[in-house]
Structure 1
Amino acid sequence: MTAATKLLDEMCHLTAQSLTPMDTSEHFQVLKLLGEGSYGKVMLAVHRKRGTPMALKFFPRESTSLFSFLREYNLSLSFCTHPSLTRALGIAYSTPSHYIFAQQASLFGDLYDIILPEVGMEEDSCQRVVSQLCGALSHLHSLGFVHRDLKPENVFLCDSACRWVKLGDFGMVKARGTRVPEVWYSSPYCTPEAETARGNEDSWSSMNDDEEEKKKKKETRVWVSVEPSTDSWALGVLTYAMLTGSHPWAETASDCRAYLKYREWFDRAKSPEDELDRPEVGKTDGLPVAPQFACFTPLACSLFLSLLDPRPELRRQPEDALSYLGGAWMMEQERRRLEEERKKSRGKADIRNMKEMEGRGER
């Protein structure tokens, strides 16, 4: 346990004694819903006295422990000092139904909003996002924390061109080395090492099992150590999604054909002698590539092989991705095709906006 993780626990115990009840409407003007999930919801609000815009994150008291709420709040307040991490604003309180804290508001939505399905986003914007996420994740890792929930919905935009993004939602953050039950779920973001827990009580695939079956699975539950390699895998999948608007596979499983194609390519690309050494940038040039990666340059393929290493102990750290920035990631033909698709999408959006404006004018 690092000094930062020890300090975080101490701060949670201290702030538990000073959390005060407060009426949201008395102090804030709530404007609109920004997002919601299993944790609760986030609302855009303005402080009535100061006029400061902020995001209020609401956690239902019936499903949230006070300690987990205070842990996320204090982590965001005191340890998320990197410019690409969402920071709490020092306001935390309770109502009869919720625990609430205020954080920086990102007024341009999240990454999910700008990734066009089957098209993705512009390569320059993608590289800017990757650069900033590398810094944000490296900062957390240096303090002994692992994010564990990197996905488009948790990357917030401070401008429309992705010149400034912020990684947020720290509800899944754990200290490195913490022992947790392994959970497998059907998603490309789930690491391959988690498949050992496929069918466990905690996994999504077993939600409809009867009680006897759940009891048996609970007894064989797999426990693992939380490691930064989890974030590296998610960064690789997210980068693919940003560039293509799709995922490299439906799930990271031994019976997923697309993932098996990737494993075949990976095994050919990685020779035994480079298992402990960093592969040279662009080294995959000339090797048969998995079909879903054929649109990428050797530079980008090398990046994906480093982050999406099925062996967690050899998976590269997020900061290693910085050396792949600056060069072309998409093959020229694919780049032109995607640009045409983006133009068509923008044209369709402009037509929809014009029709909506005409409709409002008629009314």
Structure 2
Amino acid sequence: MTSAKEQLDELCYLTAQSLTTLKTSEHFKLIKLLGQGSYGKVMLAVHKKRGTPMALKFFPRAGTSLQAFLREYNLSLAFCTHPSLNRALGIFYSTPGYYVFAQQAGLYGDLYDVILSKDGLGEECTQRVMSQLSGAVSHLHSLGFVHRDIKPENVFLCDAKCRWVKLGDFGLVKPRGSEVYAVWYDSPFCVPEVAEAKRLKKKSEEEEEKEEEEEEEEFCITVEPSLDSWALGVLVFCLLTSCFPWEESTKDDASYRAFKRWFDHMAERSAEVGEDIDCYERIAPFFSHFSPLALSLFRQLLNPEPTLRAAVDEIPGYLGGPWLLETEKEEKRKAEQAQMEARKVSVGGVIQEKEREGRGER
């Protein structure tokens, strides 16, 4: 049976033969810039003949290989069939300066815009978003691909209230099991297993300052779905709080150190007693306002050991219950109040029945 990777390679070979040259302004009306980065830029556009809004992704030919462009285009077109994956529209071409393909447009911005404008999305909205994203990422994983770049800027909104979101930007997607050079970048989404790359980067910079010429050290990591699990764990924290849990996942970061101490303590105590213990024992302060259900999810997704990290398809099992401690307390209060009311009704009914019996009524 042909693997998805082999199918993708074949599609890239075939589409390379049919790449045409077009003048963008003859076919599209460019509306505004949607995003820009090291990959190039994304413009909101309208097809002149059909009147269809779409996003045009421009890749500078000077810094983009044809293979890389075709790979992202064909991956998005042929394999991103889940409703919460941003899909290409079958339009791809080149200009003298760019390779371009069209994709579905997120007309309401991205999650980063929403996080900046709020003190958190709220539990209902956050769980709705995570339900969609976990399904989308699980779909990629089932095909043997790992996204490797999940972050708020890459989650696009199809409506203003996050009822429908789409994960996009597949430029860093790699097949599971691939060996890649570990790259350190200053972000809470960067996994702790590539902290060694930070040390080597710092060492290289120090050697450059000393004008020493030594062979640059590098190390590789294997691409596994656990990379996406970590990113989704950080994203849950961001959506609920509008903050990051830490600046970077290394011992140099005080917030991450506090989380790691709590995580290791919980693991040790659970191993000793053979069951979960009080999750608030020695908890990192910035995690203290989450419910036990949410803390359990964080412990699964943000496990510093990648081989023990939970799979993305386990996230739906944590949906439905309260993720913030205040919500859990309020739900318990309402449940207790409802029980008291039910008890009053029950006791009142017994009293009335006895009164009727005393009057000889049936």
| TM-score, normalisation: structure 1 | 0.85
Give the CA deviation at 1:300. Answer: 0.5
Q: Is this contact kept in 2: 1:285–1:298, CA < 8 A? A: yes
1:278-313 deviations in Å (ceiling 9; x for gaps): x87xx6545231111001011101110100000000
Match of 1:216, as an amino acid?
Answer: E
- Number of the residue aligned with 2:31: 31
| Unmatched segments (≥5 aa) in structure 2 | 331-362
Letter in 2 for 1:115: I
Partner of 2:284: 290
Query: 2:215 & 2:130 partners in 1: Cα distance?
Result: 38
Are the counterparts in 2 of residues 115 and 242 from structure 1 also a CA contact under 8 Å?
A: yes
Q: Is the 8 A contact 1:2 1:143 kept in 2?
A: no
8 Å CA contact retained: 1:284, 1:301: no
1:306 maps to 2:303: no
Indicate if the aligned counterparts of 1:148 and 1:172 stay in contact, CA closer than 8 A.
yes
* Other structure's SS at 1:255 match: coil
Conserved 8 A contact 1:146-1:175: yes
Letter in 1 for 2:34: L
C-alpha deviation, 1:197, in angstroms: 1.6
Which amino acid is 2:320 matched to? G
The equivalent of 2:314 in structure 1 is 320
Q: Return 74-83 or 1-10, whichever deviates more.
A: 1-10
State yes or no: 1:56 paired with 2:56: yes
Asked if 1:139 is matched to 2:139, the reply is: yes
Quote the residue 1:88 is aligned against: 88
- Aligned partners of 2:207 and 2:213 also within 8 Å: no
1:216 equivalent in alignment to 2:225: no
Write out aligned runs for 1:46-125 (5 A): 46-116=46-116, 119-125=119-125
Counterpart Cα distance in 2 of 1:94 and 1:118: 40
Cα drift, residue 214 of structure 1? 8.4
Could you tell me which residue of structure 2 aligns to residue 238 of structure 1? 235
Relative to structure 1, the CA distance from residue 20 to residue 196 in structure 2 (aligned partners, 3 Å threshold; closer, same or farther) is same
> Secondary structure, in 3 states, of the residue corresponding to 1:45?
strand
Matched, 1:161 2:182: no
Q: Give how far 1:255 is off.
A: 1.7
Give % identity.
59
From the superposition, tell whether residues 105 and 227 of structure 1 become closer, same or farther in structure 2 (CA, over 3 Å).
same
Displacement of 1:217 in angstroms is 5.9
Q: Deviations over 1:98-124 (max 9, x none)?
A: 000000011100000111368222221
State yes or no: 1:176 paired with 2:190.
Answer: no
Cα shift at 1:64 = 0.5
1:264 is matched with: 261
Moved more, 206-215 or 100-109: 206-215
Task: Give the whole-Å Cα distance in 1 for the aligned partners of 2:260 and 2:238.
Answer: 18
Task: Note if contact 1:179-1:225 (Cα within 8 Å) is conserved in structure 2.
Answer: yes
Q: d(CA) in 2 for partners of 1:115 and 1:36?
A: 19
Distance 1:196 1:87, change over 3 A: same
| CA distance in structure 2 between the partners assigned to 1:174 and 1:167 by the alignment | 16
- Tell me how far apart the structure 2 counterparts of residues 272 and 2 of structure 1 sit (CA, whole Å): 46
Deviates more, 1:112-121 or 1:92-101: 112-121
Asked whether the equivalents of residues 147 and 172 of structure 2 are also in contact (C-alpha less than 8 Å), the reply is: yes
Residue 73 of structure 1 aligns to a residue in which SS? helix
Name the counterpart of 1:360: none
User: Matched residue pairs, number?
Assistant: 329
The whole-number CA distance in structure 2 between the counterparts of 1:183 and 1:95 is 31
Q: Aligned pair in 2 of structure 1 residues 8, 324: CA closer, same or farther (>3 Å)?
A: same
Compute the TM-score of the two structures, normalised by the length of structure 2.
Answer: 0.85
